[in-house]
Structure 1
Amino acid sequence: MRPRKLDQPRSWPFIVGAWFLRPALVMTTKRDWIDGLNIPATGGCVLVMNHLSHVDPLTAAVFTHDHGRLPRYLAKSGLFRNRFLGIFLRAAGQIPVERASASAAGAYAAAVEAVNAGECIVIYPEGTITRDPGLWPMTGKSGAARIALETGCPVVPIGQWGAQELLAPYAKRPDLFPRKTVSIKVGDPVDLSDLADEPQDAEVLAVATGRIMDAITTIVEELRGETAPPERFDLKKARARNGRPLEDER
């Protein structure tokens, strides 16, 4: 039973997804969904989540849909290059992001426009599946903070755990049985009110992004019953040490 009725009109990808995706997840997962009604019922908002697996955008989409909102993701542009997947994603209103290029500004503008139009945007601030050895949230990128400060919308932290058991990070074959428990918990909006009138310079964005990642990490700690490492894993620094490209191409 859905916790909140969806009042928004659905495009055909969401109808198709409801027919196939939701029953598939019911058969293969046990859902531990907590405080989903903390997602605003109406109005523009940004949902920020930790990223564990290629499958967790699907579990998160069902979670968001079942709490009365249609999610719009900022997704890697590479996904849109597949002909059929690209058609599906564009019809669902998903926003392609060309990282490390001038086109990233277009994605930011599209996200701001969507929030101002009252839509629900989902962002993974880490930018990719976590590389932390313990699968804890990494340092975040500033996109979610920028959108929230630009629009004044609520930025709602969500922690999740268990999707990596269904599909391990970067694995191609899921482990469907026995059924895996996927836990998703929604926290209270991150308070950025004291930063609203500040210039959106690097220092302010770093503070806002740090608060967002702290809120997500606190929720993940609750779900795992563990304490995160005192220092958050920084993928950019790790790649610089190893002499690897700083942007994730996968």
Structure 2
Amino acid sequence: MRDLTEKRGWAFDVGVVILKPVLLATTRRRWIGGENLPETGGFVIALNHISHLDPLTAAHLVYDHGRLPRYLAKSGLFKNKALGTFLRAAGQIPVERESSGAVGAYAAAVQAIHDGKCVVVYPEATITRDPEMWPMRGKSGAARIALETGCPVIPVGQWGAHEILPPYTKKPHVVPPREITMRVGPPVDLSDLVDRERDASVVNEATDRIMAAITHQLELIRGQEAPVERYDMRVQGDRFKRGRK
């Protein structure tokens, strides 16, 4: 654990006062490898996505190690006036999927890295659809930010949040407190890719390395091997959406 050195601002002050006591009361935390989180400077932290609770537990991990998280968040969250004001004050970055607004989000994330911030990215972009909850095929955002800035990408495998708030449910299970495990790996080695022309093959290779590193951390937590082929919604579809029909 480390003491926070960044200035929090009012939004983080409010968030810490309200949310941290709730997380402390409803979870048991097992942070592994936290020394791999940089103490200073900009970096991307890339995690697997298993629950809508993930942003809170990831924030807890990052905050406990002396940093403040900045998220690439769905733009719809910013449309609520009060919530949007809070998110912007906390330095969060709105993302408009499949639109020109995504370019602005990428530029904002790159600038946040240059400003020495911690940018949290879920490369899957949505909760995993894998039947055993292994990481799916990743999208390129984390890789492109890292290749543009040369910043470290820190992979994190996490497990347990889905037991508190299962995917696409609204009622949390907080009694008894569930264990949240987050295992932080060393930076993903992208050094041989940073200076190469940023074509699709380079971005895809960087993305694959990031997803492999996240998956490896999750394998260590679960004591199991992930499937060789990652779940791909473009090929296998959205099993949650099929289940809701």
Q: Does 1:112 align with 2:103?
A: no
Structure 2 match to 1:217? 215
CA distance in 1, matches of 2:85, 2:172: 24
Aligned with 2:180: secondary structure?
A: strand
CA distance in 2, matches of 1:35, 1:161: 15
Aligned with 2:105: secondary structure?
A: helix
Aligned length: 240
CA distance in 2, matches of 1:109, 1:239: 30
CA distance in 2, matches of 1:114, 1:100: 22
Aligned with 1:193: secondary structure?
A: coil
Match for 1:23: what amino acid? P
Matches within 5 A, 1:37-116: 37-116=35-114
CA distance in 1, matches of 2:54, 2:195: 35
Q: Describe the superposition over 1:36-68 as per-residue Cα deviations: whole angstroms up to 9, x where unpaired.
A: 121000001000000110111001101101101
Structure 2 match to 1:182? 180
Structure 2 match to 1:6? 4
Offset of 1:83 from its aligned partner? 2.3
Structure 2 match to 1:226? 224
- Where structure 2 has 5 or more consecutive residues not aligned to the other structure, the ranges are none
Offset of 1:226 from its aligned partner? 1.1
Structure 2 match to 1:208? 206
Offset of 1:137 from its aligned partner? 0.4
Matches within 5 A, 1:145-184: 145-184=143-182
Offset of 1:169 from its aligned partner? 0.6
CA distance in 1, matches of 2:68, 2:234: 32
Aligned with 1:194: secondary structure?
A: coil
4-13 or 76-85: which moved more? 76-85
- Where structure 1 has 5 or more consecutive residues not aligned to the other structure, the ranges are 245-250
CA distance in 1, matches of 2:6, 2:191: 29
Structure 2 match to 1:29? 27
TM (normalized to structure 1)? 0.93
User: CA RMSD, aligned part only?
Assistant: 1.3
CA distance in 1, matches of 2:195, 2:32: 33
Offset of 1:153 from its aligned partner? 0.5
Offset of 1:236 from its aligned partner? 2.0
Matches within 5 A, 1:118-137: 118-137=116-135
Offset of 1:32 from its aligned partner? 0.7
CA distance in 2, matches of 1:85, 1:51: 22
TM (normalized to structure 2)? 0.95
